[in-house]
Each structure stands twice: as C-alpha cells, then as structure tokens.
Amino acid sequence: MREAKALRGRVVGGMMKSGEMEKLYNRWFMSPIPPPKNININYPLNAETKDAFANPSSKEI
C-alpha cells in the first residue's frame, strides 16, 4: 500500500514538474470539449493550483 502511494507521488510530482499536469488542465478546462457541443469551460488555474503545480509536495490540498 505504501509503495503504491509513493509511486503515485513520484508520477504526479513528475507530471507537475515537467509541465504535463498544466497541459492536461488546459486541455480539459481551457479548451473546447470535443463535438458535438464544443463547449469551452474556460476555467483558468487559480493561484493555489499554479503554486502546487510549480512546487509539488506530499501535503494534500
């Protein structure tokens, strides 16, 4: 169980550090949702989430 948590932490932390997490966020929250509706939620990252992406830690948000 602890190994799985550590693995998740490494994977998610790596995605945050590499910028991949922000790319995924932009894909789902800042770009149009695929057809048929093409709705754009247009929900920008808030300051706390930007900080968490820039400085990953093990503390929960």
Residues 12/56, Cβ–Cβ less than 8 Å: yes
Question: How many whole angstroms separate alpha carbon 38 and alpha carbon 6?
Answer: 37
Query: How many CB atoms lie under 10 A from the CB of residue 21?
Result: 19
> What's the pLDDT tens digit per position in 19-28?
999 999 999 9
Q: Which two tokens stand for residue 42?
A: 């247009």
Res 60 pLDDT > 80? no
How much is the pLDDT for 14?
Answer: 92
Percent of the chain past pLDDT 90, that is, above it, reads 56
Long-range contacts of 23-29 (CB under 8 A, 24+ apart): 25/49, 25/53
Which pTM was predicted? 0.75
> What's the pLDDT tens digit per position in 5-21?
889 889 999 999 999 99
* Domain definitions of the chain by residue range: 2-54
